[in-house]
Amino acid sequence: MCGRYVSVSTPDEIASAFDADEQPEQALEPSWNVAPTDDIYVVLERDGHREVAEHHWGLVPFWATSPAIGSKMINARADGLATKAAFKDSFARKRCIVPADGFYEWRAVPGQKVKQPYLITRRTGEPLAFAGLWASWRAPGADAADRLRSATIVTTTPNELMATLHDRMPVILPASVWDEWLDPGNADVEELARLLVPAPEDVLQMLPVSTEVNSVRNQGAHLIEPVDPAAEQGSLLDPEATGG
């Protein structure tokens, strides 16, 4: 799965990386610890133009009776996109890219209750392009302009690197397929499904980071700094050394 990630690139930087020519007027705050239900950036195509837009993390399908369902829809399994009611409309017509500067995953440590977090990034330092779906939801009786736009991150089986941490990983799209994925006129779900494969493991690197990232309250660039896992786990025995 993908339940926490890093988003510190500005809208300008995201637009440049993904060849978008529109972006939000007001930027989100940089986040080294993006959590479910936060507002996030997505890249999507509308009227032949790519744009960077703000969406709520946690898909709220158009038919939902409440936006609360979004907290359970932060990820969408690739093998269920074409058949599950929550995702099939978005898969056919509303696909996006969720740009990320890295994401976190956790590994159990023998003899310890607290798992060790790892930061996964692209080896080249370029942003990751998570395959995403988006939706637009309006509360019954609300004004047509008052819509909640939301998104989810598509996950697939892990490559060998990620399999050491978890049995799922986000789909990371190479630049060569961005046009195909983002084209809202492309409804060939069988061909699109073939894009939803694990990224080659040599594309990614993973580094142990502070257990401070375990709490969504914690922020700051220090969260992505590499640590010595043995020293980090040892510090957990000292209550004054924990990040809260």
Structural domains in the chain plus CATH codes: 5-241 (3.90.1680.10)
**CA distances from residue 54 to 34, 92, 97, 139 in whole angstroms, order as listed:** 13, 21, 12, 19
pLDDT at 215: 97
96 noted as active-site residue: no
212 catalytic per annotation: no
Q: What is the predicted pLDDT for the residue at 206?
A: 97
Task: Return the DSSP state at 42.
Answer: E
| Burial of residue 46, with CB atoms counted within 10 A of its CB: 0-12 exposed, 13-18 middle, 19 or more buried | exposed
Q: Which residues of the chain have pLDDT under 50?
A: 237-244
DSSP conformation class of 18: T
Active-site residue identified among 45, 51, 96, 105: 105
- Dump pLDDT digits (tens) for 161-183: 999 999 999 999 999 999 999 99
pLDDT for residue 91: 98
φ, ψ of residue 43 to 5 degrees: the values are -115, 125
Structure tokens at 82: 């074409």
**For residues 27 and 224, what is the distance between their CA atoms, to the nearest angstrom?**
21
Contacts 24+ apart (CB under 8 A), 220-227: 220/32, 221/8, 221/32, 223/6, 223/32, 223/33, 224/6, 224/32, 224/102, 224/119, 226/119
